[in-house]
A and B are shown apart, each in its own frame.
Chain A
Amino acid sequence: MKLIVGIIKPFKVDDVKDAVKDLGVQGLTVSDVQGFGRQRGHTEVYRGAEYTIDFVPKVRVEILVDDGDADRVVQKLVETARTGKIGDGKVWVVPVENIWRIRTGETGPDAL
């Protein structure tokens, strides 16, 4: 099993959700995060006053999938989240040792 983690632009979240749902993904977790990549923070001028944005708002998406599905889901995620502009984000995949569904106690791929 794999954990797919994506850091994406916030407004892309609904698109990504719909896209991976179409692939049969059962659930995903999103959280609001902030950070910087090569995009860096920046300073905006507002009515003559400056304010600095050190971190850029992003959304972190986490999806648990079976090994065989990981590539497809990642590909879909990358496609959907891409705008071609700076700050589109990153996706990475990490191996998962085991999964439990808390309510039923199921484990492994059954708990996906």
Chain B
Amino acid sequence: MRTARDRLIGDHGRRGAAFGRALAELLDGALTRSLASAAEAVEGRLSLAAIGSYGRAELSPGSDVDVALLHDGHTNVAEVADRLWYPLWDAGFVLGHAINTVKEEVALAERDLHALTAWLDARHVAGDPELFTDCVARIRRLAQRRRARLVDDLRSAAEVRREKFGLVAEMLEPNLKDGSGGLRDAQSLSWAGWTLGEPGGWAALVDQGYLRGGDPSRLAAAIARLLDLRVALHRVTGSRSDVLTLQEQDAVAAETGAEDADTLVRELAGAARVIAWLVTDVFARLEATERGPGGRVSRRDRDLGGGVVVRDELVAFSADASIDATLLLRAAAAAAELGASFDRASLERSKEIDVVEWHAEARDAFVSLLSAGRGAVPVFEALDQAGVLALLLPEWDRIRSLPQRNAYHRFTVDRHLLEAVAECAALLDDDGFDGEVARRARADLLLLAALLHDLGKGMEGDHSVVGAEAAVELARRIGVDERGVATLDWLVRHHLALAETATRRDLSEEATITRFGRLVGTSDRLDLLYALTVGDSRATGPAAWGPTKAALVRELFVKTDSLFELGVVGPGLDAHRRETLERHRTLLARRELAIDWTDRADGLLECAVAAPDRTGLLARVAGVLALFGFDIRDAAGYIADGMALEVFDGADRFGRLSDQEGRDAVVIALRSALTGELPLHEQLRARIRRYRIPDPGDVSVVVDQDASPSATVVEVHAPDHVGLLAQVASTFADLDVDVRTAKVSTLGERVVDVFYVHDAAGDKITKQLTLDQLKATLLARLTSEYWLPEPT
């Protein structure tokens, strides 16, 4: 027996289904002989049945062999059974065996889904034929009687397999038996057919309109392909595993005569897609029938408008709708959003479309389809199976079921792209940091970029570059605006830049951030690239995304974003920011005291002061501005190459700064304040006396050491009053505290000034004594009439 089996396995000419039949014949013969000799000793009737894959004669080298010995209850069958099973055990088969009366067997099938379905594939091997026929007939009736439960069980089992093993067509290492679209799925279709009564199996599904006439031959071809691969896989590995691992794919390709591993995998995917799609479609309709009152009699359609209806929980075209791409896409978006299946008849009708016109409405529907996230995955599959996806997106043909051979990816290219879309759509609903960033981006561009980012895979050349070209072509065809097209081009071209820089470059080097910032150019692109990177990485697989990479990517994002905020880089900033930066650069280039005034769109005035850096500069500039009635609302300061740039936004309270004369006066005053000729303190004090001095209870100073990695942050909360910034800044200057950045915000009557400060050496202020002194001095001066020290 063992020798005969080994010879069969060694006979590489017997592939797939032929191997299964040959092995079944071998077993049939052996069991028939054993039963004949053993049964002589027994009274009563015995019948031996092959069930499960042995029943179907679809055995692979590693398959379990399932058999049932039926008896009429009067014989001592255990002895017979021993003589039947032992030769098989000795030959190394893994045997699933049962010894039951017909009644027991039916009771078992009633309780256990597996027992029931195994009998739906049963085949008589030897012994009394009547016992067998009786049992099979009863179990078939049982299947019909328990239709609702059985359909539900089969469908949820298929869903569990999809969750657990993924789709055969889309996994890089698919499970041929248990994956979605695998052998088990194909069998469950046939079992579902038995719930409809005779003739059972696929024939019953065809009879009642659940399958189309051509479907059984497509299914049979798909199963043959899967069996061929499974037999080859078991041969190659010598094991029972049904997972077609990457490392075995070359050998299995050679064994099955496929050109190479990629061809093998794509052919497999084609077969598995047929099965998976029919399983989804048939079970959805069987369930709809179960739920619907009076079987398939449809209840009223729910009208979703524009020719799209929901009928029996399936999304369909209304009878009078004129069929075009817009309708198809709207129905697709509705199906994705509702998580409903697409009515197959409507899908067939959409084959009438021969030209796709991308109106704005079609494009919007396409974007809503994408924004449905994971719900879009089965809809894409349905469109693909109906042959209309290629019409909408001809580019899809090249990447369909395209394997990718690296350690990070889990999915074929097409599914990876849909996963990326789903992950990006999920980000748009995310509560956390990632969601905040994603929602700032243009959602349509984010989703399209996710769908298109790997379009260049499988083409000659760098997939980012050729992919960008393909993406641009597609985006133009569907009518994305030119600005959007340019952004998509850039995003696809650089979709790996953020992740690569974050993981391979030193993020504590300023040059890293600056260089990356120059590449990105605008914060719009940065937001999009960040969201795309997160979505793409999550869609790739667990090896591509973990806390470490997430932290690095986020760090680079935040650092680059602050660079944009500070205006250090940003050739691609919006026109206004760019112009502002240009003015500031010109100002700094003069390398002497210079002031530039600009009227802002919001009615405020911007005052930019460039001056050689020196201690107390901020205090003096703020002081002079206060003297001239310039009410500071916002201030920020930077230092580069020994020159300081202080930028203030504020209101011209007395209208003294609206003409050149007034503005020139400020420069003169500031110049003399810097040389000490102008008694700035005295004049300010005189001015401040006219206003109320704040109560100590109104002022608070908070020191935060954790807010910034490189600076101490001092927050001053106080009622708004004249010269407040000058006051605080001069206190810092007196205590040798260097202000790196100042941020002044006015909230009604109150002001919150935030200062990022360093000690004289340019580090965080760590001495508690200094911090205490700083706080005390600030509080004292802000609440005193004599807050300014005498000039030194």
**Contacts from A to B (Cβ < 8 Å):** 9-11, 14, 32-34, 42-47, 50-51, 53, 55-59, 83, 85, 87
Contacts and interface: CB of A to CB of B under 8 A. Distances in A.
Contact of A83 (B433, B506, B561): B506
Listed from nearest, the 4 A-B pairs whose CB atoms lie closest are: A32-B548, A57-B548, A57-B551, A43-B706
Given A43-B706, A46-B561, A11 B504 contact: yes
B503 interface: yes
A57 B506 contact: no
A42 B706 contact: yes
Nearest to B501: A11
A32 B549 contact: yes
Given A11-B506, A45-B708, A57-B552, A34 B547 contact: yes
A53 B551 contact: yes
Given A44-B558, A58-B548, A10 B503 contact: yes
Contacts of B706: 42-43
B94 interface: no
20 contacts: A10-B503, A10-B548, A11-B504, A11-B505, A11-B507, A14-B504, A33-B548, A34-B547, A34-B551, A43-B706, A45-B708, A46-B433, A51-B433, A55-B551, A57-B547, A57-B549, A57-B552, A58-B548, A59-B548, A85-B508
State the main secondary structure of chain B at its contact with A: helix
B548 A47 contact: no
User: Most chain-B CB neighbours within 10 Å: which of A32, A34, A59, A85?
Assistant: A32
Interface of B: 433, 503-508, 546-549, 551-552, 555, 558, 561-562, 565, 706-709
Contacts of B552: 10, 57
A56 B558 CA distance: 15
A32 B506 contact: no
A59 B503 CA distance: 10
A29 B706 CA distance: 35
Contacts of A44: 555, 558, 708-709
B712 to A, nearest CB: 13
Contacts of B551: 34, 53, 55-57
A53 B5 CA distance: 62
Contacts of B558: 44, 46
Contacts of B547: 32, 34, 55, 57
Contacts of B504: 11, 14
User: Most chain-B CB neighbours within 10 Å: which of A53, A56, A57, A58?
Assistant: A57
B432 to A, nearest CB: 9
Contacts of B433: 46, 51
A34 B548 contact: yes
Given A11-B506, A51-B433, A85-B508, A42 B709 contact: yes
A55 B547 CA distance: 10
Contacts of A57: 547-549, 551-552
Nearest to B709: A42
A100 B285 CA distance: 56
Contacts of B565: 47
A11 B556 CA distance: 13
Contacts of A43: 706-708
B556 to A, nearest CB: 11
B788 to A, nearest CB: 31
Contacts of B555: 44, 53
A55 B546 CA distance: 13
A49 B551 CA distance: 17
Nearest to A56: B551
A50 B707 contact: yes
Contacts of A34: 547-548, 551
A103 to B, nearest CB: 13
Contacts of B548: 10, 32-34, 57-59
Contacts of B707: 43, 45, 50
Contacts of A32: 546-549
Contact of B561 (A11, A47, A56): A47
A6 B547 CA distance: 19
A53 B450 CA distance: 28
A46 B706 CA distance: 13
Given A34-B551, A43-B707, A51-B433, 14 more contacts: A10-B503, A11-B504, A11-B507, A32-B547, A32-B549, A34-B547, A43-B708, A44-B708, A53-B551, A55-B551, A57-B552, A83-B508, A85-B508, A87-B508
Contacts of A33: 548
A100 to B, nearest CB: 21
Contacts of A53: 551, 555
Contacts of A83: 506, 508
A47 B530 CA distance: 15
Nearest to B707: A45
Nearest to B547: A34
A87 B552 CA distance: 14
B518 to A, nearest CB: 19
User: Most chain-B CB neighbours within 10 Å: which of A10, A47, A53, A56?
Assistant: A10
User: Most chain-A CB neighbours within 10 Å: which of B504, B548, B565?
Assistant: B548
A48 to B, nearest CB: 9
Nearest to B562: A46
A34 B708 CA distance: 21
A53 B506 CA distance: 18
B777 to A, nearest CB: 25
B503 A11 contact: yes
Contacts of A11: 503-507
Nearest to A59: B548
A67 B547 CA distance: 35
B606 to A, nearest CB: 21
A102 B498 CA distance: 38
A110 to B, nearest CB: 24
A83 B506 CA distance: 9
A34 B558 CA distance: 19
User: Most chain-B CB neighbours within 10 Å: which of A42, A44, A56?
Assistant: A44
Contacts of A14: 504
B389 to A, nearest CB: 37
A16 to B, nearest CB: 12
A58 B546 CA distance: 12
A11 B549 CA distance: 11
B445 to A, nearest CB: 21
A58 B503 CA distance: 10
Nearest to A83: B506
A11 B546 CA distance: 16
A53 B547 CA distance: 11
A7 B507 CA distance: 17
A42 B555 CA distance: 11
A47 B437 CA distance: 11
